[in-house]
Structure 1
Amino acid sequence: MSFRAYFKLNNTRLCETVLGSVQNALLMNRRNAPNGAETSGEEGYPMADRVTYRYYLGQIRLIQHQIEAGAEHLRWAFDHCTNAQLHNKRKILIPLVAAYLVMGRYASRSLLEECQLTSEFGNMIRYHQLGYGAGVRREIERHCDWLRTKGLYMILYEKAMLGAWRNLFRRCLQLAPGASGSSNAPPTLCMNLLVGPARLAWEDASLGLDDIECIAANLVDQGLMKAYILHSKGLIVLQKGPYFGFPPLASTYLA
């Protein structure tokens, strides 16, 4: 009840006080478990309360930009919420779909249709996969009021947009000649050749070489691209290996 009240008041910082008390209680439960049994400390509580707790804990972690931890708690809540409570499952699914989108794990079209979330997330997911940044931004802005009420607007605007850039660069590498990785040399991307695709993907004719270099540096800094920038030659030199410098998005958000 306290979590629900704090979320209604848009004062989620106060949730940490309640969360600390809950975690202390769970710790005591673990210590008092019979015969040293492995336990989370939650087992003595009704499943409905545990699902509610995990839902709000997942929401709190997303607000704190702990994406992987938030997704883990939300997934637990979704999996353990009974199918008789379809309204609650949909409520849990909304932030879970957003968290998974940021992590590059995309909800299926059939799941979105079943939970009536195709309008909100269908195009956003497809555009994100393609690296079509202008489309992602347009979908976020189109649903901005709804996303704000769910506490998801900022996290999608900050994280999904950067992920769209990463996916665009990765697609450009895949379409580049010699992208098979048969050479012993590390894969490279010519920044000058990224300007055209970037202008198309973001529907912004003003984007130039300096913008591409800035975005590349940001992707490297955030761990979304394993590479270094060779400024003198206008190249992005990517890490050799199975991912060609683009590790799975989910791996960059591990707690």
Structure 2
Amino acid sequence: MNVSEFLFQIMQVFNKEVIQKKKEENWFMPIFYQLCTDLRTLAKKVDDMTVKEDDDEGETETTYYEQSASYIMEAFRACVSDVRNDPGTSKKVAILNMTNQLFRIYFKINKLNLLKPLIRAVENAQQSGLYDSFSMADKVSFNYFLGRKAMFDAKLALAESSLLYAFRNCPPEYVENKRRILIYLIPVKMFLGQMPKKELLHKYELDQFVQIVEAVRIGNVKKLDEALWRDEAFFIQCGIYLMLEKLRAIAFRKLFKFCSVLMENHMIHLDVFLTALRLQNVTDIDCDELECIIANLIYDGRIKGYLSHQHKKLVLSKKEAFPPLSSIYM
């Protein structure tokens, strides 16, 4: 029996003999939080040290890390089912801490679909007033994970509010945690049209974003592609590379806006945009692909107008042809 299996047994006993039987008490919850943390951490270490051989049938064994989630989830259900709402006795005070434990595991094993009931339980706690009894540390962690999930679900308004809450309420001495939050908050802010300052990026050692921010700000698609390629490994490790790639649409939009201002006309020939792209050394986009890019921008509401395929022109709305990006996601 390895250490993870031993902790699994302890978890089972604790859940059965303490959480479920001590109905009028919850003083032991800090001990339970530490037990969950140790279980999750050690299960991950055992998995990392275990060399798994490929199975002939192509089946993959359930990892200790995944098993740890099932034991924590079992205890989670016991706490959620507690009918008491008094923070002094209710097991529901453990909901947020356990949700954060499970958030960490499900993000790691890429099973974000399992997060929905956890988020719903926290929302119910907010409605019942129990949310105030949760620690600020747990609230910060929850909003950090909730913001990340919302970002991947393209719910940018929720992502911004959650990550911003986490960043503002994370104590300033926890610089690494604030940096981790910014890694996801920065792309969300950029999609909403808000570009971070260089001082902020330098302060939290996020210089990988400097050229990306500059490229999007001036609408330089070539410069954006080069910046993404240069720090590709970092962005992939953080899990934001694919989202940052989508910033090309924002860069195109910015470039087209500059062109419309220079032309001082709401009817712009597509050759104008192609010329602007050629000046950036973007040579792999022809007129047909350009039409697709513009059509997608119009469909997403980032540009107001329509394409005249026959005349090869973009006809912009005379009123707010380039609406604020923040208004699109609200």
Q: Do the structures match in fold with TM over 0.5?
A: yes
RMSD between aligned alpha carbons?
1.6
Taking the aligned partners of 2:285 and 2:224, their CA distance within structure 1 comes to 17
Confirm whether residue 252 of structure 1 aligns to residue 324 of structure 2.
no
Confirm whether residue 215 of structure 1 aligns to residue 293 of structure 2.
yes
Confirm whether residue 194 of structure 1 aligns to residue 273 of structure 2.
yes
The 8 Å contact of residues 143 and 163 in structure 2, kept in 1 or not, is answered as: yes
Q: How far did 1:108 drift?
A: 0.5
Change over 3 Å in CA distance of 1:11–1:161 after alignment to 2: same
Q: How far did 1:101 drift?
A: 1.4
Per the alignment, in what secondary structure is the counterpart of residue 141 of structure 1?
A: helix
Aligned pair partner of 1:152 in 229, 232, 240:
240
Taking the aligned partners of 2:202 and 2:256, their CA distance within structure 1 comes to 30
Change over 3 Å in CA distance of 1:155–1:206 after alignment to 2: closer
- 1:205-244 matches, within 5 Å, as 205-241=283-319, 243=320
In structure 2, what is the equivalent of residue 182 of structure 1? none
The 8 Å contact of residues 221 and 252 in structure 2, kept in 1 or not, is answered as: yes
Taking the aligned partners of 1:75 and 1:175, their CA distance within structure 2 comes to 36
Taking the aligned partners of 2:322 and 2:113, their CA distance within structure 1 comes to 35
The 8 Å contact of residues 199 and 206 in structure 1, kept in 2 or not, is answered as: no
Q: How far did 1:225 drift?
A: 0.3
Taking the aligned partners of 1:121 and 1:71, their CA distance within structure 2 comes to 18
The 8 Å contact of residues 220 and 255 in structure 2, kept in 1 or not, is answered as: yes
- 1:63-78 matches, within 5 Å, as 63-78=152-167
- 1:131-142 matches, within 5 Å, as 131-142=219-230
Tell me which structure has the larger Cα radius of gyration.
2
Confirm whether residue 11 of structure 1 aligns to residue 98 of structure 2.
no
Taking the aligned partners of 1:43 and 1:188, their CA distance within structure 2 comes to 55
TM-score by length of 2: 0.66
Aligned pair partner of 1:172 in 259, 273, 290:
259
The 8 Å contact of residues 148 and 184 in structure 2, kept in 1 or not, is answered as: yes
Taking the aligned partners of 1:81 and 1:137, their CA distance within structure 2 comes to 33
- Greater length-normalized contact order (CA 8 Å, ≥ 6 residues apart): 1
Change over 3 Å in CA distance of 1:42–1:139 after alignment to 2: farther
In structure 1, stretches of 5+ residues that fail to align are 30-40, 180-186
The 8 Å contact of residues 97 and 107 in structure 1, kept in 2 or not, is answered as: yes
Between the two proteins, the alignment pairs up a number of residues equal to 230
Cα distance per residue 1:26-59 (max 9 Å; x no partner) = 2222xxxxxxxxxxx6322111111111111000
TM-score by length of 1: 0.84
The 8 Å contact of residues 102 and 156 in structure 1, kept in 2 or not, is answered as: no
Q: How far did 1:251 drift?
A: 1.7
Change over 3 Å in CA distance of 1:43–1:189 after alignment to 2: farther
In structure 2, what is the equivalent of residue 162 of structure 1? 249
Taking the aligned partners of 1:250 and 1:231, their CA distance within structure 2 comes to 29
Q: How far did 1:152 drift?
A: 1.1
The 8 Å contact of residues 125 and 131 in structure 2, kept in 1 or not, is answered as: no
Taking the aligned partners of 2:195 and 2:116, their CA distance within structure 1 comes to 30
Taking the aligned partners of 1:136 and 1:68, their CA distance within structure 2 comes to 24
Per the alignment, in what secondary structure is the counterpart of residue 126 of structure 2?
A: helix
Per the alignment, in what secondary structure is the counterpart of residue 83 of structure 1?
A: coil
In structure 1, what is the equivalent of residue 15 of structure 2? none
In structure 1, what is the equivalent of residue 132 of structure 2? 43
Q: How far did 1:23 drift?
A: 1.8
Taking the aligned partners of 1:219 and 1:102, their CA distance within structure 2 comes to 13
The 8 Å contact of residues 221 and 282 in structure 2, kept in 1 or not, is answered as: no
The 8 Å contact of residues 147 and 163 in structure 2, kept in 1 or not, is answered as: yes
Q: For 2:282, give the aligned amino acid.
A: D
Q: How far did 1:190 drift?
A: 1.5
Taking the aligned partners of 1:218 and 1:12, their CA distance within structure 2 comes to 28
